[in-house]
Amino acid sequence: MPVIFVAGVHGVGKSTLCAAVSLVTSVPSFTASELIRAKQSTLIQTGTKDVIDVANNQSILIDAVQEKTSDFEHIVVDGHVTLFSNNTIVNISSSVFYSINVKLIILILESPNTIYSRLEKRDGNAYPVDLLRTHQTFELKHAREIASNLCIPFIAVHSDASEVIANLIVNLKNNETWRIKNG
C-alpha cells in the first residue's frame, strides 16, 4: 500500500500537521520515531536528536511501516530524509523509501528561528539557528534527490499548508489523477 512521507527537520511541525490532516482525510499518520521506538526503544534517545545506529534504525522503520501498510490502504509517515549522527548530518538511503513504498514526499519548511523557538519550548533545548538552517537545506536537497531517484512526486510546503496536504492525500486516496511537478 502507498505511503505518503512527510519530511522535515525536528521542530518544523510535521507531527502537528499530520495529525490535523489525518483528522480531515481519515488516513492514519505515524511518526517514524514512534514506530522505531515501539520496536526497539533503545534506538531513539531522549534529550538528543543524535541517532546512534542509522542503518539499524532504518531497518526497524522499514519493518514497522510494512506492518502498518498491511493494516491500512494508505498511511502517512512523518520523519526525516537526513539525520544527525555523531554531530554530522547523514543522508538516509533512497532504498529505505523504496522499501516502504513511498509514493509522494512532502517536505515541510519553516523559518529556522521559528524552529528554534519550537524546539526550545518542546524539548527544553534547541540547536543553533545556523545549524537548523543548514539541516533544513540538506533535508530539502536530499528529499528532492530521493524523489528523483524513485521517480515520485515531491512538494515542499510551509508548515501551515495542512489544507494543501489534505487535498493531495484525498486525491491519492480516491485514486484521482494528480500531478506535482517533481523538484
Q: Is residue 160 part of a domain?
A: yes
For residue 145, the enclosing domain spans: 3-173
CA atoms lying within 13 Å on the CB side of residue 153: 18
Q: Is residue 154 part of a domain?
A: yes
Q: Is residue 179 part of a domain?
A: no
Section 5-16 average pLDDT: 92
- Check: CB of residue 68 under 8 Å from CB of residue 132: no
Q: Is residue 161 part of a domain?
A: yes
Q: Is residue 178 part of a domain?
A: no
On average, the pLDDT of the chain sits at 83
82-85 vs 75-79, strand pairing mode: unpaired
Model pLDDT, residue 1? 65
Section 120-124 average pLDDT: 86
pLDDT digits over 29-61, tens only? 999 988 988 887 554 455 555 566 667 888 888
Q: Is residue 21 part of a domain?
A: yes
Q: Is residue 167 part of a domain?
A: yes
Domain with residue 14: its CATH number is 3.40.50.300
Structural domain count of the chain: 1
Task: Give the dihedral of Cα atoms 19, 20, 21, 23; nearest 10 deg.
Answer: 90
pLDDT digits over 67-105, tens only? 898 888 889 999 999 988 777 889 999 999 999 999 999
Crossing angle of helices 54-71 and 32-39, in 10° steps, is 100
pTM: 0.85
Q: Which amino acid belongs to residue 65? A: V
Q: Is residue 152 part of a domain?
A: yes
